[in-house]
Chains A and B, each alone.
Chain A
Amino acid sequence: MDLDYFKLIDRIVDLNLGERTIVVEAQVPEKHTIFEGHFPGFPIMPGVLLTEAMAQSSGWLLLGVLKFERMPFLAIVKEAKMRGFVSPGQLLTIEAKVEHEGSGFAVTKAKGRIGKELKCSAEITFGLTPFPDPAFRVHMDAMAEKIGFPMQVLKHD
């Protein structure tokens, strides 16, 4: 989890395009200035960052579903629930599923866990648009490789 660059997902554990599901891991850093303020003496991951982590997980899933031909942009967050504290050093596992693929938009449901304990969940809607800039697409390809996006699954779908 690289909080400074807002890259919250470290590794794709499983991507199933048939089931339209993804499982990712995100290692919460032991130290970061965010935890100095949120909160002094009781450092926890801000809910907005847990929500963003669920959105990024869903985004990688949708990139797979869309075969990297379109980019999902966050549009709506519903029913975002922070069910328990997530602390520095914990390994967050996030699973997401495509709930609906509409025309120009998609809706996912995502859940974040520490171990087996459910910590957060949300329903998230994305607008799906062509990549606005070729350099952006190149960057996403590089990011995909870094987090272990299984490009081979795109060829077998």
Chain B
Amino acid sequence: MSSTFDQIANIIAETCDIPRDTIKPESHAIDDLGIDSLDFLDIAFAIDKAFGIKMPLEKWTQEVNDGKATTEQYFVLKNLADRIDELVAAKNAGTGA
């Protein structure tokens, strides 16, 4: 089974037509890959479907806007993969995502 990062990278490559080999764990989805909010909706839909979760994008955005989190925590892909793993673990533990 491919890693969470690989699955995300494949989704981004397919959704945004970005060459797969340019997508790295250290890539920032917005600053490095140039993904805009509309494309991110598409990506979020694909990730939600692939992992059976509901990424709390609005909560994350609010945290960034309030200065409680940085965009790197959510939009650097290795960090995004960690957040997704946490959401999947919470879902499997029955604690909700």
A-side residues, CB < 8 A to B, are 75-76, 100-105, 107, 125, 127
Contacts and interface: CB of A to CB of B under 8 A. Distances in A.
A103 B44 contact: yes
A81 B13 CA distance: 25
B55 interface: yes
Interface stretch (B19-27, B56-64, B65-73, B78-86): B56-64
Max chain A CB contacts within 10 Å: which of B45, B49, B54?
Answer: B45
Given A75-B38, A76-B38, A102-B54, A107 B45 contact: yes
Interface in B18-53: 38, 41-42, 44-45, 48-49
Range of interface residues on B (Cβ < 8 Å):
10 to 19
A102 B38 contact: no
B58 A104 contact: yes
28 contacts: A75-B38, A75-B41, A76-B38, A76-B42, A100-B45, A101-B54, A102-B41, A102-B44, A102-B45, A102-B55, A102-B57, A103-B44, A103-B55, A103-B56, A103-B57, A103-B58, A104-B57, A104-B58, A104-B61, A105-B41, A105-B44, A105-B45, A105-B57, A107-B45, A125-B41, A125-B42, A125-B45, A127-B41
B3 to A, nearest CB: 23
